[in-house]
Structure formats: C-alpha cells, structure tokens
Structure 1
Amino acid sequence: MPAPSGPASPPSAAKSEGAFRTIGEVSRDTGLPQHILRYWETRFPTLRPLTRAGGRRYYRAEDVALVRRIDQLLNRQGYTVRGVQQLLSGEGADVPPVAQEQALGVRLRAIRDLLARALHDDGV
C-alpha cells in the first residue's frame, strides 16, 4: 500500500464564505489563469486584493465576486476591457444592455461593410 504523499490542502470550498483566498484558490475556483487575475488588477482599479509579506495576494469575498463579474462581462457577454472599465466606474451604468448590444451590432456591420469594400476594391 503506497504511503500518503503528505497533507492535502483543503479545497477552497471548505473555507467559510468570508475567508481570504489565495490567487491559486481563486484561479482554481473560477477557471481563470493566475496571470489573467494579475493582469486584471492592472486594468481594474477596484480589484485590489490584499498583499502581504512576499507579495502574496489574498482575495476577500468582494474581490472574488468582482473577479466573477469581470469574467462574466468579458468572457460571456463580450464586453471589451474598456467597456467593463466604464461599466465598473459607472460611466455606462445608465445605458441598458440592449442599447449596448444594438450599438455593437451597428459597429460590427460597419466593419463588415468596410472589409467587404476593401476586398472588392482589391479584386478578391
């Protein structure tokens, strides 16, 4: 019978809701790579986990909630980083999502038409 490899770290789900989480735990819980979480800290000023000695990050429950919100907006709803920044800062809070989607559709159609004209002009 093989010997146990050492004490297993408890899954972050075993922690209480208010407990701090390391970047590794947040990464594992959200499925987001750690480098993305660190990048988001540079792009979203409201995402500021506590840092302790050695630069180790500790995410509070509200930090984890913000990470999930940013992930939802960027990776599932299709917002750009700039768009999420505006939403989080309140600049875009009064614009309903339907209007934002319509505006995006208009911009995408304009880009499509531009590309089609460029291809046509080049004889492709």
Structure 2
Amino acid sequence: MPEFKIKRLYYSIGEVSKLTGIEPYVLRYWEKEFEQLKPAKNKAGNRTYTNRDIKIILTIKRLLYEQGYTIAGAKRVLENYDFDKDPTELVIEGEKIKASKIIDPELRQDLIEIKKILESILSKL
C-alpha cells in the first residue's frame, strides 16, 4: 500500500477521494456493499476515514479495477482478509499464508484441497 505524506488520525471524504482517486459517490456506494468499510461519522454527520479505511479502499480498488473482480467476487476475497494484521498475510482455515497479492478465491479453494490431501497422506504414514 502506498504511504501517505499526511499522517493524521482522520480524513474527510474529499481528502480520501483525492488520495485514492475514487469519487466520493463511489466511496459512499462501497460503504453499502462492503461490510469492512464503515467509516465513523463526526457530530456533524460527516464521514471520518482512518488509515485502515484507506487501506480497505485501496484494496477494493485493486480488486475491482486492476484484477477485474466483480463486487460479489471482491466481497468473497475480503471475507478472509484481516486489515489489522500484516497486509500480505492471509489466514486460510487457521493456517497463515504469506502472499504478495490477495489470493484468488479459486486458488484459495485449491490450496484448501491440497492441504486436505496432504493431511490425509500424512495421517496414513
């Protein structure tokens, strides 16, 4: 993820839009679609985005615009992504896997199947 020159606790929707290149109306739409993206609101009702929210937005942007996922596909990928941990670490059924990118859901399923086969083989030895 890119580092931001301005280190603050909270950003407005306009600032986040400029930082990420995503229009404010798209950010508001993504809040409805992705449960991971829930910026707080201040007393005036304005959204206040954190650095974690920006990481989530950039990940969604990469999935949708660069990797070609649909919104439904991106939702499935994000179900197993922990934005509070190392951004390259995924946990698949309790096993940590390092990845330079978010793992494709089909590849994830293949990894789970391979793990089951290996466990079956090891249990017979």
**Gap change, CA 1:86 and 1:97, over 3 Å in 2:** closer
Over 3 Å counting, the alpha-carbon distance change for 1:62 and 1:96 in structure 2 is closer
Aligned to 1:33: 23
Q: Which deviations, in whole Å up to 9, do the C-alpha atoms of 1:58-108 show, x marking residues without a partner?
A: 1111000000000000011000000011111139x86953956xxxxxxxx
Residue 39 of structure 2, aligned match among 37, 44, 49: 49
In structure 1, what is the Cα distance between the partners aligned to 2:5 and 2:78?
30
1:70 matches 2:60: yes
Uncovered stretches (5+) of structure 1, i.e. residues with no partner: 1-12, 101-124
Are 2:22 and 1:15 equivalent residues in the alignment? no
TM-score (normalizing by structure 2): 0.61
Q: Tell me the amino acid that sits aligned with residue 40 of structure 1.
A: W
Of all paired residues, the percent bearing the same amino acid is 33
Q: How many residues of Structure 1 are paired with residues of Structure 2 in the alignment?
A: 86
CA distance, structure 1, for counterparts of residue 41 and residue 51 of structure 2 = 15
Q: Return the TM-score normalized by structure 1.
A: 0.61
Distance 1:96 1:40 in 2: 21
Unaligned runs of 5+ in 2: 82-90, 93-101, 108-125
Which structure would you say has the larger Rg? 1
SS of residue in 2 equivalent to 1:54? coil
Bigger fraction of residues in helix: 1
Partners of 1:82 and 1:24 in 2: CA distance? 26
Specify the alignment match of 2:84 in structure 1. none
- 1:85 is aligned to 75
Q: What do you get for the CA RMSD once the two structures are aligned?
A: 2.5
Following TM superposition, the consecutive aligned residue runs of length 4 or more in structure 1 with deviations greater than 4 angstroms are: 93-96
